[in-house]
Structure 1
Amino acid sequence: MLEFTDIFKQYQLGQQRVDALKGVSGRINQGEMVALCGPSGSGKSTLLNVLGLLEMDYQGKIELAGKAYPRDPMAAAQYRRTRLGFVFQRFNLIPVMSAWENVAYPLMLNGLSLAEQKRKSLEILDRVGLAEFVDHRPDNLSGGQQQRVAIARALVHQPEMVIADEPTASLDSQTAALVVEMMKSLGHEMGTTFVVATHDARMAMHCDRTIDLVDGVISTEAMQWAS
């Protein structure tokens, strides 16, 4: 379970302080896929960054699997590499690397042998339906295939949680639905929690639950189980 309690986050814009998050609290279960929704400026991207330890300057408490988030920058970097995964809107694949080499990158950072890197990468690429494309570079893959490589990369080290920022924004409707269902299915199967920031109503419909943020607070009236 992910639990965050009384999260406050401020930004300084010139002479003005902006309250991006105003005491946000919530719980997300293991293996659950939750969409963070809301208009621009609502705080969803800020909350996503805080939960992904990309923003360290916040007030409040966050626990994942019963353990508090680290506050030390070095410990936070290690935490991100080992316990979290990330999926981005524009895939963020390395152009000169093949699909399996892109997927293996987190394993390399975590010190696994080359043989283990390749074995684990090929296994997860097979699970996302890309067994025939493991040696292809990103420019030889479609947008949907590139995002599946990015999902495989996020999951290859078996993180407890994956942070996804607008993962379907660059995809057409049909491909987006397939990608979301794949993330949801893998999350349920592997017990990996997905927290997704999205403007895309199509994606929110496929998630287990949505959480709406308005002006830095969670709108309890808008929290609902997705059909």
Structure 2
Amino acid sequence: MIVFDHLQRHYQLGGQTVPALADVSGRIEAGEMVALCGPSGSGKSTLLNILGLLDMQYQGEVLLHGTPLPKHAKQSAQLRRSQLGFIFQRFNLVPVMNALENVAYPLLLNGMSKQQQRKQAQQMLEMVGLGDYIHHRPDNLSGGQQQRVAIARALVHKPSLVIADEPTASLDSNTANLVVDIMRQLGHELNTTFVVATHDARMASRCDRTIELLDGKLNPFDSQHEVISWAS
């Protein structure tokens, strides 16, 4: 589970201090898939970067399974490799690697043997429905297939948390729905938490819950300061 408590983040813009997050608190359960929504400038990317250990210049505290996230670069990098996965709008696959090699890459960084890398990567590709595409490079895959490879890569090392930034923005409706359903199903099966920043109503409606940000604050639609939208 993730708990973030009284998060504040300010940026210096010229001679002005601009608040990106203002006293934001919340809780996300293990295995839950949460959509993080809000207009541009609402603080979504800032919160995503903090949860993903990409921004450590904040006030407040973030707990992952009861342990505070580190604010030192070396410790943060180690925790990212072992406990976090990332999914991006533009897939960010390595073009000279095939699907299997792309998915195995996090395991290589974590020092796993080549035989075990291949075994786990192939199993994960089968879980996202791409067991017959392990030797295909990204330019021989459709957008939806590339995003499924990216999902497999994010999950292959069994992280506690996956950060996804607009993962369906470049996909058509049918492909987007398929990708979201795969993410949600695997998150529940593997007990991996997904936090997804999105402008896409299709994506948000298929998540377990929605948290909405507005002007750096949680939009106070209810007593929990969360906009609840349970998927069917």
Specify the TM-score bucket, using the shorter chain as the normaliser.
Answer: over 0.9
TM-score (normalizing by structure 1): 0.99
Check the 8 A contact 2:205/2:229 in 1, yes or no. Answer: no
Write the distance in 2 (CA, Å) between the matches of 1:38 and 1:155.
26
TM superposition shift of 1:226: 2.4
Please say if residues 204 and 226 of structure 1, whose CA atoms lie closer than 8 Å, have aligned partners that are also in contact. Answer: no
Q: Hey, what does 1:75 align to over in structure 2?
A: 75
Q: Deviations over 1:114-171 (max 9, x none)?
A: 1111000000000000000000000000000000000000000000000000000010
Q: Percent same amino acid at aligned positions?
A: 63
Determine whether 1:172 maps to 2:172: yes
SS of aligned partner of 2:61:
strand
1:100 counterpart residue number: 100
Out of 12-21 and 33-42, give the one that drifted further: 12-21
1:159 equivalent to 2:159? Answer: yes
Tell me the C-alpha RMSD between the 2 structures. 0.7
Structure 2 equivalent of residue 9 of structure 1: 9
Query: Which AA in structure 2 matches 1:166?
Result: E
- Tell me if 1:223 matches 2:227: yes
TM-score normalised by the chain length of structure 2? 0.97
Q: In 1, distance between residues paired with 2:85 and 2:174?
A: 24
For 2:107, what is the secondary structure of its paired residue? Answer: helix
Counterpart CA distance in 2 for 1:178 and 1:91 is: 16
Which structure 1 residue ranges, 5 or more long, are not aligned? Answer: none
Amino acid at match of 1:101: E
Structure 1 consecutive aligned stretches of length 4 or more whose deviation exceeds 6 Å: none
| Equivalence for 2:123 | 123
Mark the runs of 5 or more structure 2 residues left unpaired by the alignment.
Answer: none
Instruction: Give the drift of 1:225.
Output: 2.9
**Residue 220 of structure 1: how far off its partner (Å):** 2.7
Q: How does 1:17-96 map to 2 (within 5 A)?
A: 17-96=17-96
Mapped to 1, the partners of 2:48 and 2:230 lie a distance apart of 20
Describe the SS at the equivalent of 1:101: helix
Code of the aligned partner of 1:219: N
Structure 1, residues 195-220: CA drift from partner, whole Å, max 9, x if none?
00000000000000000000000013
